[in-house]
Every structure is written in structure tokens, then in C-alpha cells.
Amino acid sequence: MNTKDPLTKNWDSLSADELRHRQGKKLRRYLSEQVGSFSAHYRRVFAEAGFDPGSVRGIEDLVRIPFTSKRHLVDDPETGSRTRDFVLVPDEAVLRRRPATVLRALRRGRAAVKAGFEREYRPILMTSTTGRSTEPVPFLYTARDIDVLELTGRRMMEICGSEPSLRHLNLFPFAPHLAFWQAHYAGIGYGTFMLSSGGGKVMGTEGNVRFLDRIQPDAIIGMPTFVYHLLQIAAESGVSAPNLRKIVLGGEKVPPGTRRKLRALCAELGAGKVDVMATYGFTEAKMAFPECPGHGVDGAPGYHLSPDLGIVEVIDPDTGRTLGEGEPGEIVFTPLESRGSVVVRYRTGDRISGGLVHGPCPACGRSVPRLVGEISRVTDIKRLRLGKVKGTLVNFNELENLLDNIDRVGTWQIELRKRNNDPLGVDEIVVHVAPRGRVPRAELTAEIESRFRGATELTPNRIEFHDAAHLRALQGVGRALKEEKVVDRRDEASAPKTETSNLAEA
């Protein structure tokens, strides 16, 4: 990629108007020279929509391009794999006709130009979606994409306030998963010490506690649930971690209650003030976006985007209309530098409560677009059969935040099941809880039920108490790629029985 490009050189200091102008110019080049020329999928989409990439005059022209969603990426039962259709496969005849190619060949020679195209377009790395809602979808990276991953990783380190001299412990599992590779290349791009333990699946929680004790990291990077369990066991084992200054989290939501609990555990380990920051990333973007520590401001100042590498829109999830400054809606992403697998106007299914804002960050002063507020998944809104006639929509994003924000709850799991294991019966909610400290069960049960009623007008059918070790086993800590905090077992029901009473309603 061209690091001398004015948009990349000044990625965090341009005014909103200048930024939009430069993004528009880059978008036209990218769609014309790359996506429209080399993507089989988007050649068809652009033709069917009557869209000419060369007619783009600004980012407002994005609305002329149809959205891409997960359903476009999964394999078609009749035609087979669609993966290759989304990969930029260059046409040598097109490349040879470009003046830039001729000039490079004259300056460097044909062999050097060919090697450059190999580096730009030949896939060398694959990540994959986790496959929770659909079949896993592979995404391919070229060497140029690795450069972008290093760049976004370096920016992540800088925004989160790291320093090259710090020691970092990467707890993400070894997997073809964006979170691990983003953290890995953050260490490479920033030139800092990074120990990647592989998380619980490789070393086990105890092995990671030993790393924590021996290496004494300044920063920990990982998924919130696993990091919490690690610090909890370390505290119970008498381990100290006085150097710990940063915790950077990804892969799950990070509500305020989780941050409080992690800071409290850090204090038990002998650490001073610890910054707890979240990141937002998804496989289809092939990059992640960090929060800054937010020193001197109340609340998190938002996820800092890389406007030279991609354009983020926020849309009305029902109408598809692009929303204005600070309006809540669904996040849509379009890359500006990607090679390998590419999606344009990709509907993430993620909703941001505070929308997209521009202007300087109130904490760090960087002038970048920011996603502000809480991010939730559309797929976490589930329909439960609460009666004999129709289903009721329940927002499990709210329930997750609710449980995380109860300080007396250490960790938890929500289980959905059928009453009496009857596939024709009504649905149940069972809440599994590992209390934090010595807590009267009756009091904690009453608090959980009260908060459930306040958020959903429902109460759980049961609240089951466990020790932390049993809860870790339920969540799949050290076994699952992502710890299972909401488990839907309704499809596992068998042996039809007589339908009984439904969920308790307030």
C-alpha cells in the first residue's frame, strides 16, 4: 500500500470535510481499478444495478451500491462455493494495459513488476468466521493485506497507549480467527514483545497463570470471559501482577460491569490503575478498531476507525437509509485497501447505540470517525415461545449487559431449553451463576429476578448457582473458540411430552 498517500499520512488529523473528500477519491479508484475489474461477484452486482464505479464523485455515492450480507457469502447448495467470487483475481491483460504498470516495468523491470503483483494479489493467509449463525466463511489475505494488518495493529497499540518497551501477553486462541492474527501482527507492526500463549485450549488456564506469574506482562490481550477467569484463578493462587497496566479485549461485548470486575481483580493482583479497553472487529473487515483509554473523560470515547483503510456507514436496519451524525443503527463496512477476499457495503448485523461521530476524540484528540456507545448483535434478539399462540422477542444483549453489570455476579451463562425436553413445549430460561465473593443466594436471586423483570418483563424459570470451576466448564473455557455465555439448546429437545406452563411473566 502507498504509505505516502495524503489520506494515509494524515489519517488521524484531517477535518471531517477534507476526510470525506479524500475518501471519495480513493473510493472511486478502488472500486474502478480493483473491485469492479477483478471481483466476479461485484462485476455482476454492478452490472445488474447499472452502477459505473468511474461515476463515483464522493462517498455519498455508496448508496447506489446494493448491500452485501452474510447470506451472499455462504455456499449455495446448487452452485457450490462462493468464496472465489469475492476474491480479487487480477486479469493480466487489464494490468498490462494500465500506464502505471508500464512505468513500473520501465523503472524496475518485468520480473520485479510480476513479483509485486504476486505480493499484491496472491493469497497467503486465511481466517474464517466462527460459524455460530451460519457455516464458517473463509476470508483470504495477500501479503498486502498483511501490511494492512500490521498497520492497524500498530495503530491499535498507539491508540491504547502502549509503549514498545512493554511486555504483552496475547491470550487469544491459536485459530484462523481475526482476533488472534490482529493481536499477533500488532506486536510485529509495533516492534514490541508479544507472547502468544494460544489461550486456554493450548496451555490451559493454569498454564496461562504460570505465564502471567513468570513474564509479569504490562498488558494482557484476550477475550473478556477468559481474561476474567485467568485473573480470578491467579488471585486465588496468590499470584501477583504489579506491572499490569493495560487490558485490551476483543471477541465479546465489554459492558461497564465487566470493566469494573476486571479492575477489581487487577487490584487483588497488586496492580495499580489499569486501563480496560475494548476493540471492535469482524472477519469481513480483516481489521479491528480500538478504543483509546479515555483518560480525562467520562465513559468510553468510542472505537477509533482507520478512515484511509475503510468507510463505515450507519444505516437504519429496517429501511437501509444512511443515518446522520450520532444516530443509532446498523454498522456497514466498505474497504479501501483490501485485496484477497473483499466485501463492499457489508451489513455486519451489529448495531451501535451512539452512532458514527466525527471530529477530535475528547480524550486523545485524534480526528478520526468514531463508533460511540454499545455494540449489540441483531442475532442476539431471539424469539421465545412464551405461550400457545405466538412468540415474544427477547433482547439478549440487554440480559447480557444486565448480568455483567451486577457486581455480585462473578460469571454466568444463560441457557435456553424446552420445558421437560418437549420439542412442542414452551421455552425456558435458566440462568447459571457463579457468585463473586460470599453472597447470600436468596438476595442475589431476588436481584437477578428484579433486574430481569425491569428489562424484559420476564423472570428466569430457574437460577442455578455453581462454583467458578463448574461455570468455566459450562462456558467451554479452554475448549470453545469463544466462551459460550448464551446457549440455545431448544433444538436438542426430544421425546415429545405434554405442554406445561410457560415462562414466568411479570
Q: Which domains does the chain have, with CATH numbers?
A: 380-492 (3.30.300.30)
Cell numbers 502468544 correspond to: 196
Better pLDDT: 178 or 398: 178
| pLDDT at position 382 | 66
Residue 93: pLDDT above 80? no
What's the CA gap between 37 and 15, in Å, rounded? Answer: 32
- Can you give the pLDDT at residue 308? 97
**Beta bridge pairs of residue 261:** none
- Concatenating the DSSP letter of every residue in 24-91 gives HHHHHHHIIIIIHHH-HHHHHHHHHHT--GGG--SGGGGGGSPPB-HHHHSPBTTTB--GGGGB----
Q: What is the pLDDT of residue 132?
A: 58
pLDDT attached to residue 500: 37
Q: What is the pLDDT of residue 383?
A: 67
Burial code of 431-441, b = ≥16 C-beta within 10 A, e = fewer?
A: bbbbbbeebee
Residue 501 has pLDDT above 50, yes or no: no
Predicted confidence (pLDDT) at residue 478 exceeds the cutoff of 80: no
Confidence check: pLDDT of 506 > 50 = no
Query: Percent of the chain scored above 70 by pLDDT?
Result: 92
Q: pLDDT tens-digit profile of 34-68? A: 999 999 999 999 999 999 999 999 999 999 999 99
Q: pLDDT (tens digit, 9 = 90+) per residue, 437-453?
A: 888 999 999 999 999 88
Average pLDDT estimate for 98-115: 74
Q: What confidence score (pLDDT) does residue 388 get?
A: 43
What is the reported pLDDT for 269? Answer: 97
pLDDT at 134: 63
Least Cα distance to 23 among 39, 41, 10, 36 occurs for 10
Q: pTM of the full predicted structure?
A: 0.88
Q: Which string of DSSP letters, residue by residue, matches 233-292?
A: HHHHTT---TT--EEEE-SS---HHHHHHHHHHHHHTT--S-EEEEEEEEGGGTEEEEBP
Q: What is the pLDDT of residues 396-416, one digit of tens each?
A: 888 888 899 999 999 999 999
Residue 171: closest CA among 237, 246, 121: 246
